[in-house]
Amino acid sequence: MRKTLALFSLSLGIALVSPVRSVVAQVSIMTRPPLPSSSIRTVQQPPRPVIIRTIPITVPQPEPLMSIASVPPLKPMGLPNDCTPNYACLGWDEQLFWGGKGEGEAGDRLALIQSIDHSLGYLEKPSVAKIYQNYPVKEITLDRVRRSLLRFRELVRTSKSAAELQDAVRREFTFYKSTGNDGKGTVKFTAYYEPVYAASRVRTNEYKYPIYRLPPDFEQWQKPHPTRLQLEGKDGLLGKDSRLNGLELFWFKDRFDAYLIHIQGSAKLKLTDGSVTSVGYAKATDYPWTSIGKALLNDGRITQKQTTMPGIVEFFQRNPGAMDEYLPRWERFIFFRDKGNTPATGSIGVPVTPERSIATDKSLMPPGALALVNTSFPYVGYGGRLDYRKVSRFVLDQDTGSAIKTPGRVDYFMGTGKVAGDRAGVTGGNGTLYYLLLKR
């Protein structure tokens, strides 16, 4: 669910949401961007972060899992029995057990249980049995995935501490490790979030940059499709001279906001009348992704340190005329639908949950299954500073993205709003990914 002024890298040439199945879980950075040492630091046990609970993003159903001719995407692994300290071992998820009620941020145990229930509902669909029939790791079956979720749900509900849950999971579950992007388990992590934009249902002098609904005759459009330049003009204001005239869905103050929604594929909108709605991906013209961040870097307009979304936004704020040159370089054009104020969903058709849903390559990974990510994420520390922290986080595999390919890519859903966006924008780096299945 790709995806969001998620400060993700329009920068490093990543196929941010150029949608194939999803325009969501792909707006992300491939490497952690350089940040001032005064604003980012790495800690082992940082202060409890601010958790942004929000509504996620939308994408169609996954394609059936494809058999892999060579190396399977997941391999079972043994775990040491004497791992210490506990917080340094797989399965230590203290975020579930924070205090709340005057004792700091509340844990998100209920959110995780709800996310498990979403996956359980998905696994009941008749079409899912066909997906799992072709899964390349034969011992990972639909029945085993479902039983594993039910047992894990009970453990989350009854465990009194992170250590108790960790011990039970390590005792009762087999950990299947992703082979990663190198065959050795290295997985590249990025993050996405759902932004909130100010918008209007009608054009005004202030709100003049539109996004469009799908043309009713789109399936009859000849290829090659019209380019972005042909559809909206160099300045984004082609208006009555565009073949899309009359199909305007919402209007925005800032041209780059409208452009970012094309990249993200979905967004939440706060309208001028005080109401809230959301838009989701409807369809797109047939062109590949083009990174304007990479183009700016190659042209010497920004430095390597500025190849983050904040850096690109700042560049266009200082040089608004440059949008006429660079934005049309991405020829693909996205059409949207008004979804109302309803939760957006991941590729398996269920809501994604902040910090508990991930996007992976659904031709390789078991949809809806219980997983565990082991990597570093930025959290809000004292004074609003983002602190990197190594985590072992239980998640559900509920989304995908056209840039999320191979066993070596994971996109982690941060949530909605500015804080989630700030965190998602500086998330990037390597880690490991595991799927948890009950032992036979």
What would the DSSP string read from start to end of 130-181? HHHHT-SSTT--HHHHHHHHHHHHHHHHH--SHHHHHHHHHHHEEEEEE-TT
- What whole-number distance in Å separates Cα of residue 256 and Cα of residue 261? 9
Find the radius of gyration of the CA atoms of the chain: 22
Contact, 39 vs 384, CB < 8 A? no
Angstrom distances, CA of residue 53 to CA of 23, 106, 112, 151, 388:
21, 12, 12, 25, 20
| pLDDT at residue 15 is higher than 50 | no
Q: What is the percent of the chain with per-residue pLDDT over 70, rounded to a whole number?
A: 82
Helix, strand, coil % in the chain, rounded to nearest 5: 25, 25, 50
Give the CA diameter of the chain: 70
Could you tell me the pLDDT band of residue 345, with boundaries at 50, 70 and 90? confident
Q: Looking at the whole model, is its pTM more than 0.85?
A: no
CA distance 366 to 131: 9
> Would you give the DSSP letter of residue 345?
B
- pLDDT at position 289: 87
- Nearest-angstrom CA–CA distance, 350 and 114: 11
How far, in Å, CA of 4 to CA of 35, rounded?
A: 20
Is the pLDDT reported for residue 415 higher than 70? yes
Question: For residues 77 and 27, which has the higher predicted lDDT (pLDDT)?
Answer: 77
Neighbours of 106 (CB within 10 A): 15
What's the confidence (pLDDT) of residue 84? 85
- Fill in the amino acid letter for 170: R
User: Tell me, what's the pLDDT at 101?
Assistant: 64
Span 289-306, average pLDDT: 93
φ and ψ at residue 407, rounded to 5 degrees: -70, -5
Calculate the CA 202 to chain-centre distance: 30
Banded pLDDT at 65 (limits 50, 70, 90): low
Rounded CA separation 414/399 (Å)? 13
Q: What distances in angstroms separate CA 70 from CA 73, 136, 187, 435, one per listed residue?
A: 9, 10, 19, 20
Task: Give dist(CA 160, CA 137) in Å, integer.
Answer: 34
Highest-pLDDT range among 15-19, 45-49, 210-214:
210-214
What does the pLDDT read at residue 99?
Answer: 79
Give 431's DSSP letter: E
Q: What pLDDT band is residue 263 in, cutting at 50, 70 and 90? A: confident
- The pair phi, psi for residue 170, each rounded to 5°, is -65, -30
Compute the distance between CA of residue 367 and CA of residue 439 in angstroms, rounded to an integer: 19
pLDDT at 95 over 70: yes
Structure tokens at 32: 């952690």
Q: For residues 15 and 29, what is the distance between their CA atoms, to the nearest angstrom?
A: 10
Tens of pLDDT, residues 210-233: 999 999 999 999 999 999 999 999
The conformation of residue 265, written as its DSSP 8-state character, comes to S
Task: Look up tokens 């995806």; give the residue.
Answer: 3
pLDDT for the residue numbered 40:
38
Return the structure tokens found at 262.
């094309």
Q: If pLDDT is split at 50, 70 and 90, which confidence band does 66 have?
A: very low
CA angle (240 as vertex; 236, 246 as ends), nearest 5: 95
- pLDDT surpasses 60 at 356: yes
Strands 74-77, 370-380: pairing kind: unpaired
